[in-house]
Amino acid sequence: MSSVAALTILFIIMLAVGGIVYLDTAQSMESQISSLQSQISSTSRAGPQQTVTSESSTMGQMAPSLRQITLIAEPAQITLASNVTYDAWTFNGTVPGPTIMVNQGDTINFTLINKFTDMAHSIDFHAAEVNWATDYATVPPGGSKTFTFTVSYPGVFMYHCGAQPVLEHISNGMYGAIIVNPLTPLPAAPGGTYVLVQSEFYLNSKPGTDGAFAGNYTKMLAATPDYVVFNGKAFQYQKAPLQVQPNQLVRLYILNVGPSHWSAFHVIGALMDTVYIDGDPANAEHGMQTLSIPPSGGAIVDMYFRDPGGKNPFVTHDFSDAMKGAIGVFSVGTGNTTSTTSTTKSTSSTSSTAPTSAVHVSIQAGAGTNTSSLGYSPDTITIVIGVNNTVVWVNDDNMPHTVTATNKLFDSGNMNPGDTFSYTFTSPGTYTYGCSYHPWMKGTVIVEAS
């Protein structure tokens, strides 16, 4: 071998060795930087006086299951604002429709029943991946449709009627939220958990013969709403603030159904610690002041409230919309979960004081944050007409709840901590109910004849 060839081979070997050393050093440096960034993130993003542990080390994955879900398209009159009623088009008689909470990987066996007598309706699940031409086809008056789909992605998704014109069907109230929890659950939120659905209403200039307003399609096309609301009613959370706990993680599931205006969600006097865009943990942002949510967009907001006893308003920072009803208040607790006041609410026509034979049901402590809790204890009761047919619910939790019948026979409205609500049943049957704020809370009353 010539001396030139030998030198050439030696030079190539030196370059290779140097490249390996450089590559190994670069990978080591990247690993160190990544580790350092992870440490910084875990310490700087935790809320005040909080210790955050990786959720995978504390909670197991949720097992997928088969869920049976039915929505009923039906007209209903709702209270849109003080002294303002509205002839709404609804799912299950409410606006928004029921919040559906499932887990990533669940299979949904869904049925839509159309109880309208003069109008076709349909369903559109933004969480589904299906053949829309068949599964989302319109259902004629009096008809029904069933199909199955699997939810593959976690998030806060919209569902709505997709019949034409879609703008009119959404604007009249046919929408709701479907929340798909991730396979690996997010950290617990002991400070409070709420679902907030923002939407717009467009009213005729005068009420109809029934005293209620109907929708105005010309205003819908012009995107000039009369009301912009959270959870179907203007300013309701100014009068009945949402209770949260100081220095504990609070979780908000937020959906903007529009149908036309963007939401600029903002909490006055607080910052959003972690925001999961569209409700997917893979899409995390931190330290946000205002969250921009397009029509049909959603998010999960995790945050902390620092001032015990404080009041923190929440708004859409589009103040022309905020002044039309999209304003509420978070009332920050003092850390004392014992209520100092108590009010009694009753639908009984004879007395607001429940008889001694009444059956008592407790809204359990922690029901507002524990999604695996039934919420009501006992969750199923049997009563007898003329013997013990009055039921009294007591809110023993540290945040508001409702007792709302599935068939709308009774509704407590907002119940603050310590509040009670009673209802006297007069007809045999099985009555299911739940909390309007926390969809995992369910109860049943079985009424027997004397």
What value does the mean pLDDT take over residues 11-33? 41
205 vs 11, more confident:
205
In the block, residue with structure tokens 């049976």:
68
Bridge-based pairing state of the strands 429-434 and 442-448: antiparallel
**Secondary structure (3-state) at 274:** strand
Identify the weakest region by mean pLDDT among 6-20, 258-272, 385-399.
6-20
- Quick: pLDDT tens for 215-253: 999 999 999 999 999 999 999 999 889 999 999 999 999
Name the residue type at position 14: M
What is the structure's pLDDT at 408? 83
Query: For residue 315, what pLDDT band results from cuts at 50, 70 and 90?
Result: very high
pLDDT in tens, 268-301: 999 999 999 999 999 999 999 999 999 999 999 9
Tell me what the mean pLDDT of segment 173-180 comes to: 97
- All residues at 6 or more sequence positions from 38 whose CB lies less than 8 Å from its CB, including other chains: none
The set of residues, in sequence order, having a beta carbon less than 8 Å from that of 166 and lying 6+ positions away, is 160, 259
* pLDDT band at residue 26 under the 50/70/90 scheme: very low
| Per-residue pLDDT reduced to its tens digit, 90-100 | 999 999 998 99
**pLDDT grade for 400, boundaries at 50, 70 and 90:** confident
d(CA 369, CA 190): 6
Percent of the chain with pLDDT over 90: 64
Residue 341, Cβ density class (10 Å: 0-12 exposed, 13-18 middle, ≥19 buried)? exposed
Closest CA to 330 of 441, 420, 246, 439: 246
Angle at the Cα of 244 (from 315 to 420), degrees rounded to 5? Answer: 110
Among 254-258, 332-336, 386-390, top mean pLDDT goes to 254-258
Average pLDDT (182-211) is 94
Q: What is the mean pLDDT of residues 97-112?
A: 94
Average pLDDT over residues 30-44: 36
Quickly count: other Cβ atoms within 10 Å of residue 435's Cβ.
23
Q: Are 300 and 251 in contact (CB under 8 A)?
A: yes
Which of 53-62, 73-82, 341-350, 359-368 is least confident? 341-350
Query: Taking all residues of the chain, what is their mean pLDDT, rounded to a whole number?
Result: 83
Where does the pLDDT of residue 61 fall: very low under 50, low under 70, confident under 90, or very high at 90 and above? low
Max mean pLDDT range (49-53, 129-133, 382-386): 129-133
Residue with tokens 């994955």: 61
| pLDDT band at residue 406 using 50, 70 and 90 as cut-offs | confident
Residue 165 has what pLDDT? 98
Taken in order of first residue, the domains within the chain and their CATH numbers are 66-181 (2.60.40.420), 192-204+216-332 (2.60.40.420), 344-448 (2.60.40.420)
Tell me what pLDDT residue 397 has.
86
pTM over 0.75: no
Amino acid occupying residue 447: V
Contact call for residues 45 and 52 (beta carbons, < 8 A) = yes
pLDDT in tens, 330-380: 999 875 433 322 233 333 322 334 444 688 999 998 888 777 778 999 999
Distance separating alpha carbons of residues 414 and 437, to the nearest angstrom? 9
Can you spell out the DSSP letters for 158-183?
EEE--PSSHHHHHHTT-EEEEEEE-S
Q: What is the pLDDT of residue 1?
A: 52
pLDDT at 35 over 50: no
Cβ(403)–Cβ(435) below 8 Å: yes
pLDDT(392) > 50: yes
Copy the structure tokens of residue 34. 């990544």
pLDDT of residue 335: 54
> What percent of the chain is modeled with pLDDT above 70?
81
pLDDT at 369: 75
Give 161 or 338, the one with higher predicted confidence: 161
8-state DSSP, 449 = -
pLDDT band at 29 (very low <50, low <70, confident <90, very high): very low
Which tokens is 447 given? 């009424």
